[in-house]
Amino acid sequence: MTITWTTEGTDGHARAGTLRTAHGEIATPVFMPVGTAGTVKAMTADAVRSTGAQIVLGNTYHLMLRPGADRVAAMGGLHRMMDWPGPILTDSGGFQVMSLARLRTMDADGVTFQSHLDGSRHRLTPERSIDIQHKLDATISMVLDECTPFPATEDQARDSMELSLRWAVRSRDAFVERDGYGLFGIVQGSTYPDLRKRSAESLLQHRFPGYAIGGLAVGEGQEKMFSMLDITLPHLPTDRPRYLMGVGTPDDMLGAVARGVDMFDCVMPTRAGRTARAYTARGVFNLRNARFAADDRPLDPGCRCPACSRHSRAYLHHLFRCEEMLGPMLLTWHNLTYYQGLMQGMRVAILAEQLERFSDIMRVGWQAGDEL
């Protein structure tokens, strides 16, 4: 039996559900902190758990380069190695091959590339990607796809989408079925409605236990991203989870959940935490700003994280000005807590059929700013 998803409640197109896996249940909508190399940057596993995170993301490309999939397997798998017994989703590595690797040579079988770390040569095929994810012991694996560059002509997008469909079938055939584990297909097609529809309908023939929407949040803008979701989501089954890859801002997620997306991941909250930017109920603050130097208020009074419950804005400002590592640690902790609180708030609102009201309240707070 693979992973299963159950709808607990709906509000328009928005869904609150439960995803059951070999490593525990996940209440949706859900945000997955990115743990690229087997760690969520600047966070211990206990700290990540304290934010309310239920599932984290690992990455095939980075972990195949170091320490290597065989070494992770010898250590008991990624769950044991990084002290995360809960669910883990692994990206297939396709996006990183396109964005980071050097001297790529792609053919119908796979892609050969040089590591961005040391120039060593590697080969990634659908079968190899699935094998690596199996050795990592990923709860949810992703098919290998080509993340279509943006912008792309319709012909380029079609060729890329068709290659991803062929690789999806090969990934499915290579996947080892186990109770509580699953493989997600990925819808591609750039910003072309007919290609998105064709990609989704083709993937449905193979009955993946979950479906991801890839190739968005790559420069097309929020309006176009939402229009592609409006086109794509009606073609995906209602009894399977939908995952929007690499998204995003709090407002992006509000809009995507309202359209029927269940799962998200993004480096934004952790990267922002390392660069002094804080997501709060009153918008995004830059803690390097001089106006916080003598501000003794908590960063976000409604937040329970250590940055807000134990420290002041002035102290956080001081840490970043002095380049102390505690600053990024505390602010990453805060941002992930904020993101998890946002997802929990959306779930409660969906179950109460009040998502639109909840979204309006959140947006009013962001627009009002710190002076409200």
Domain spans in the chain, listed from the N-terminal domain onward: 4-266, 276-368
Over residues 318-330, the pLDDT tens digits come to 999 999 999 999 9
239: annotated active-site residue: no
Q: What percent of the chain has pLDDT over 90?
A: 94
Q: How far apart are CA 66 and CA 318, in angstroms?
A: 35
Over residues 239-264, mean pLDDT: 98
Catalytic residue among 11, 252, 262, 265: 265
Per-residue model confidence (pLDDT) at position 251: 98
Per-residue model confidence (pLDDT) at position 371: 60
The answer on pLDDT for 113 being more than 60 is: yes
- Strands in 14-21's sheet, in edge-to-edge order, are 4-11, 14-21, 24-28
Split at pLDDT 50, 70, 90, the class of 355 is: very high
In the beta sheet, which residues pair with residue 265? 32, 247
- Cβ atoms of residues 57 and 46 within 8 Å: no
295: annotated active-site residue: no
Q: How far apart are CA 107 and CA 165, in angstroms?
A: 14
Over residues 172-229, the pLDDT tens digits come to 999 999 999 999 999 999 999 999 999 999 999 999 999 999 999 999 999 999 999 9
Burial of 122 (0-12, 13-18, 19+ CB in 10 A): middle
Q: How far apart are CA 72 and CA 111, in angstroms?
A: 23
Q: Is 279 helix (H, G, I), strand (E, B) or coil?
A: strand
Catalytic residue among 11, 91, 252, 295: 91
Over residues 85-95, the pLDDT tens digits come to 999 999 999 88
Per-residue model confidence (pLDDT) at position 369: 87
In this structure, the strands spanning 4-11 and 102-106 are unpaired
Q: How far apart are CA 147 and CA 140, in angstroms?
A: 19
Q: What percent of the chain has pLDDT over 70?
A: 99
Over residues 47-102, the pLDDT tens digits come to 999 999 999 999 999 999 999 999 999 999 999 999 999 999 999 998 898 888 88
Model pTM greater than 0.85? Answer: yes
CATH class of residue range 4-266: alpha beta
| Amino acid in position 16 | A
Q: How far apart are CA 317 and CA 313, in angstroms?
A: 6
Over residues 117-133, the pLDDT tens digits come to 999 999 999 999 999 99
Half-sphere exposure of 314 (CA within 13 A, CB side): 5
